[in-house]
Structure formats: structure tokens, C-alpha cells
Amino acid sequence: MPRTHILGFPRIGARRELKFALEAFWRGETDASPLEETGRSLRQRHWRLQQAAGLDFVAAGDFSFYDAMLDHTALLGALPRRFGYQTDTLSLAQLFDLARGRRDQPAMEMTKWFDTNYHYLVPELGPETELGVGAGRFFDEVAEARAAGASVKPVLIGPITYLRLAKSTAPDFDLLRLLPRVVERYAAVLRRLHDLDIEWVQLDEPSLCGDLEPAWLDACDAAYGSLAQAGMKILLATYFGTTADYAERIRGLPIRGLHIDAVRAPETLALWRDTLPPDWVLSAGVIDGRNVWRNDLRSTLAKLRPLHDALGERLWIAPSCSLLHVPVSLAGEDRLDPEVEPWLAFATEKLGELQTLARGLLHGDSAIRAELDASEAAVRSRTQSRRVVNELVRKQVAELTNETAARGAPLPVRAHRQRAALGLPPFPTTTIGSFPQTPEIRQARRAFRRRELTALDYLQRIRVEIETVIRRQEAIGLDVLVHGEPERNDMVEYFAEHLWGYAITANGWVQSYGSRCVKPPILYGDIARPEPITVDTITYAQSLTQKPVKGMLTGPVTMLQWSFVREDEPREHVAMQMAIAIAEEVSDLEKAGIQVVQIDEPALREGLPLKSRNRTAYIEWAVRAFKTSAAPARDRTQIHTHMCYSDFADMLEAIAALDADVVTIETARSHMEILEHFRGFQHPNAIGPGVYDIHSPRVPTSDEMLTLLRRAAEVIPVERLWVNPDCGLKTRGWAETENALRNMVEAAKRLRAECFPEAAATA
């Protein structure tokens, strides 16, 4: 019988138990013991789920209190020297200092894990890095899984991917110089697992699905040549793309098994069926670990049977990647559209699909008749649903032209007209959109959803909060204000709730980073906007102040990337449907007198394909979608966009092509390093580099922010430099928010005095 396993399971818990335990610990309401017990309880529960589903292995080492890359940095003894912590004595509180910052040290840099919305902590490695005795939590969890009676397959991020995703702390330092030391630490980990009688270990190398230079391919050969001597059977796990480009190199590695992503790259099933070394196993990732659609079991069995005939017991079955990227379970969902729910499978349901496929391969269709019937009924229901296709929307997309995706005048002309209309000072200050969401706001939203508040009462509470936010911003001295988004649960989910073609869950939570969880909406049909979404709240906010208030919208690519997206329609088509809906909102905001509109695209870089050969097509339709959404704006209306927590260095031309008037980007955690790329590329837009990290509770001083602004002013013309935090303030408290923003405004004023002393004197 084919073996079944998973590459990892969600950590947060079906009801976000880990989130609440973490935040209680961070607030000082508990010590580490309740947090440790929550982690232990979740691990045990998830192992039992895997055992109950009949999986041959449970995944161990996939749990984390914050982030797996951070845990690996501790495991390898590679902590940033600036914190002064020792890995063999590292406490949970110290681990969180690395992730969230300390009063005297900013947090480690954070960015996206490949093309997902999961954020990892970037290792800081350089010539001073001294790898040594690592933290032992990983081995404790492996032993814990074994004590639970499970057959354990430990999970590790592979050495090539770990090094590839790290950042160098010294200019021109080649991270591959650290390869021998990194591999030795990995080898020590594998030897210890061997001593624990572990048979298989999974090493994740998604980097092999991207573009690797020859030096990195040679490093892969060297690394796995050394690791093979530890005596462990290594399952090399690749995902998020194809292994075809490096198949010959992979076949030469001294490993015992390969996992492939047969959802993203189904063509590799035949490739590896025909060329798999005779002593290897092939793990076929045939269940989508990135999306929530129920598996078409009959179709998947048809793909697996030739593999099973050729490989027999050397065939393993798995999801395409870790199930970290999907919600825990459909059980208890009371908000899902009843027509849509049967079309879905979350992490727990995917475990059952694995075992069904294995039984079908071994015993034939008759052994899984009920499951096949249910799968076929779901496929048929979804295919035939009248709610999936909207012919009017498709006609609108077909009628789009290059002219419908363009602003009226060139950017320099628009900039002149906007300066006259808005009258902003040099280095204008603003925020990214959201302000702290207090318990009272969340309670009011829940009460309204439960119909304990009337629509009028809820509107009044939201308006009271909007006025509070406006007055606080005026008192701080910000130049361009926002309404604070008190009515919004999430920047994607809120808009999805108001668009046709989306379904919303009650508990479909997915970890984004640390304790931050999001609830991606499910995009199942053609997208249409039945009525204005934001006009009422934004115009009310604008009525309270003489300063401009930004209309806040989420861009088409981000709506796409941060949703569970239909796979029956090209992503480009879905993005253009979304762009039309957003363009309608822009038009209505402008008609209502709003002069500044921000269309956020934090996921623009995230959607970039891993293979460079596929990127041009993506950039073309992503840029076109954004421009279509902004096209209704008149010349004097200023269009902003925001991007965060991704490496945008290789997308500067694409960002310029968006033709936004102002682009705000996250730069604080990297200390403005990305701005170095602006020296070689003269970006035409106004730029707002984030001057402080909102994901850390640490409040930076005005001096620190001024230092960053001076650095930015060296590469960005001062007349085009904006001042802002690096992301929204939703997750922060009011005290730290106001203190940080006051410091930010003070830094902007000081820079004005330095660069424009005459204007500052008369201000």
C-alpha cells in the first residue's frame, strides 16, 4: 500500500488557541508555562488527527511558537550577535525578542516565504557568524511525538534553502562561504536523529523550484554529499513549482526519496515515474496544500495509478506542500454558504482524502465508492452552479483595452496639479490606513453580526470611532489622514464580504506571522460589485476635517493573492474582474469629493512566479489590473499604493509601471537597504519609505526616524519623499501608536527645517 504523510500541519489551532496564548504571554498576563502547555496540547491533537486518518508518518518539528526559520536559526546556533543571547540557554521570551524587537534592538527582518502570504524571519549571517550548540526544542518535540506512539518523520528546512533565504550582514560577503559550517550543524542534527532510531527525515528545499545559479547547485551537491554520511534516509521535499530544470542534478544526490509538487507541476509525475532511481521513493504531492478545494478523487486516482503500477510501495502520497497555508478544519463552520461548503476541504479533511486515495489504489474503486460518489457530486455541483459564471462581468472584461487602463495625463503633469489641489508641505506625513482595533470595536462588529445591534446603532458606533481617529491624527499633526478602518475586519475579507463571487468562513484562520492570523475569503465565481463599499465611511471622515482623507481600497492582485482562488479560471481573468470592481469604487469616491485614494498592493511581489521565465507575463497582467483599477481617477486625484514585507528590488520597473502617484513601501526592518536600488533606477513616483516597524511594540525615537529619512533623502528627490510607518497600525495599541507617530511627525519637521529652512521658518 502506498505510504501516506504530510509535509506539515497548521500550528495555530482550529480556534486560534496559539494566538491567544502568545498574546497573553506578551502582555505579561501569564508566564511561559501556559504557553508551553498550549503548544504541547496542539501538537498532541494534531498528531492524533494524523494517526486517526491512518497516515503512515506524523510530521514532527513543524510546530513553531513564532516561525520555523527563526527556530532553525536557534537550532543551528546562528542567532544574531547583536542580541547577545546564547542558543543553549535561549528562553521563549528571548526568542520573541528576536522576532518582535527589544527596547535597544530592532527585530530581525521579516519577508514572505516564496510566493505565499506567510512571513519568515530572515537569518542574519556573515563573517562573524559562529554556529554552535543549538536550541534543543526540536529534539524534544520529536521525542514527544514518539512518546505519543506515532511513527515520526521529522521536518527540517534544508540547508540550501536556509542559506539562500538568509541575508548577509557584511557587504559582498558570499553566504556560501558558510556552507561547510551550516552543513556540519545539519549533520549533527541528523546524527542525533539517527541515534533516536528515526528512519526518515524530511528536508524542505523549495529553492530547487526557483532559479539557482551554478554555484548554488554545486553547493547542493556538496551539502547532501556530506549529509548522506549521517546515516539517515533523506526525503528531499520540493514544492511551489517544477523540479524538471534540475532533475539530472537531483538524481545525482545521495538521498532516498523525493517529494514533488504535482499540483503546481503535474507534468513532473511522468518525468519521475520514468527516471526515479531504483532505490528511491517518490512522494507525489497530489492534494493541493495551498488551496481549499475538495480533491477530484477520480481524476487524481487516474494520475496515480500509472505511478503505482510502476513504483508499487515506493510511491508515497502527500499534499503538495505543508498544510500550514490552509485552515484547520471545516468542523464547526456556521457561516459558510451551504452551496459552497461541499466543494471544500481544509487541512483535516485533506488528511482523509490522502487515506482514501491510498485505499483506492490498493483495493480499487469499490473500496471507496461512497467517497468517490461524494467527490463527484461536489465537482458536478460546482461545475453546474449558476453562481459561478456572470456573463455581464465577462463581457466587461472582454471590452477592456489599453486606453481603459490609463490615467488622463502623464505623472509629472498630475503631480503639479495635485500639489496645487492638496497644498501639502514638503515631506508630507501620513499613515498606511488602519488604526488600532480596540476590543470595543471588535465587540461591536460581533454584536452586529449576531444581530444584537441594529444597522443604525452599529453605524453610529463606527462613526464615533472615526471621529476619534480623525481628532487624534489632527492632534498629532499628520498631513494626510485616514478614517482608521474601524468597520473592517481585514483588508481583503472586508471587501470580499461586499462582492459577489466570494464565500466567507467563520473559522478559516491561517497564520500569516507570529500570532497574526488572517481569514482568506474563498473566491468561487465571477466577481461583481453590487453597490458602493467604502464611500459612506470615507466621506463621513472627510466631512470632519479640512485635511485630505484617503479613500482606502485593496488592490486587485492582493485581493487575488490573499484569497483562496478558483482554479477553473486563469488568474489573469480573475484579476481583471477584480480591477473593474475596484475601478467602480474609485469612480464613486471621486464623485463624492475624495481627493486621495490608496489602492494597496502589498502582495504584488508575492505573486511573482518563482521561475524568471514566467515573470514577464505575470507582471504585464498584474500592472494592467492595477492601472485599470486606478484609471477612473482624474489628474488632480492622487493615487497611492502600498507594498510591504517582500523583496521588491527586482520589481522596481514594474512598480514604476503601475503609474501610481505615491508608493509607500516597507523599509524599516531592513534599515532602508532597499533604497540602495533606487540609486541605479530613477523611480518617477513619489516614495514613502516606512520609517518604523509597526510589527514590533518598540517605539523608535525621532532621532532614529530622522536618520532613516536622511538616508532616504540621499536617493529620493526631496520633493518626492513622503513620511509614513511601514504598514497599517491595526495590531498596535493606542499609546505606542500615538508616541511613535508623534516622533515620526517630529522627524519630518526636523528634516523640513534642514532641507527647506525658509519654508520651515514661516510654517
Active site residues: 695
Closest listed residue to residue 551, CA positions, set 462, 471, 489, 641: 641
Q: Is residue 326 a contact partner of residue 291, using CB atoms and an 8 Å limit?
A: yes
Percentages helix, strand, coil for the chain, rounded to the nearest 5? 50, 15, 40
Render the burial of 75-90: b for 16+ CB within 10 Å, e for the rest. bbbbbbeebebebeeb
Q: Where are the beta strands (DSSP E) in 293-389?
A: 315-319
**End-to-end alpha carbon distance in the chain:** 78
Q: Distances in Å between the alpha carbon of 329 and those of 9, 13, 354, 505?
A: 11, 9, 15, 11
Cell 530547487 sits on residue: 208
Strands 686-689 and 662-665: parallel
Q: Is residue 528 a contact partner of residue 581, using CB atoms and an 8 Å limit?
A: yes
Q: Is residue 467 a contact partner of residue 518, using CB atoms and an 8 Å limit?
A: no
Neighbours of 240 (CB within 10 A): 23
Q: Distances in Å between the alpha carbon of 721 and those of 247, 479, 741, 758?
A: 47, 13, 17, 18
Question: Which grid cell sits at 342?
Answer: 461541499
Q: Is residue 160 a contact partner of residue 146, using CB atoms and an 8 Å limit?
A: no
CA atoms within 13 A on the CB side of 22: 24
Helices (H), 56-158: 68-75, 92-100, 137-147
Instruction: Please calculate the CA angle 267-272-274 and round it to the nearest 5 degrees.
Output: 105
Closest listed residue to residue 96, CA positions, set 166, 24, 37: 24
Coil vs helix vs strand at 377: helix
User: To which H or E segment does residue 511 belong?
Assistant: strand 510-513
Question: Which grid cell sits at 496?
Answer: 470580499
Q: Can you state the angle between helices 68-75 and 137-147, rounded to 10 degrees? A: 110
Closest listed residue to residue 551, CA positions, set 591, 485, 597, 494: 597
Strand partners, 434: 484
| Whole-number Å distance between alpha carbons of 35 and 20 | 9
Q: Distances in Å between the alpha carbon of 435 and those of 49, 497, 603?
A: 39, 21, 20
Strand partners, 3: 316
Q: In whole angstroms, what separates CA 217 from the centre of its chain?
A: 27
Query: For residue 734, which amino acid is it?
Result: W
* Burial class (CB within 10 angstroms; exposed 0-12, middle 13-18, buried 19+) of 271: middle
Is the Cα torsion angle 379, 381, 384, 390 positive or negative in sign? negative
Coil vs helix vs strand at 129: coil
Q: Is residue 268 a contact partner of residue 293, using CB atoms and an 8 Å limit?
A: no
Residue 413 has φ and ψ, to the nearest 5°, of: -65, -45
Which residues, at least 6 apart from 384, have a Cβ–Cβ distance to it below 8 Å? none
Coil vs helix vs strand at 49: helix
Closest listed residue to residue 539, CA positions, set 497, 493, 590, 498: 590
Q: Where are the beta strands (DSSP E) in 119-176?
A: 119-121, 124-125, 152-157, 167-168
Strands 500-503 and 110-112: unpaired
| Whole-number Å distance between alpha carbons of 107 and 120 | 12
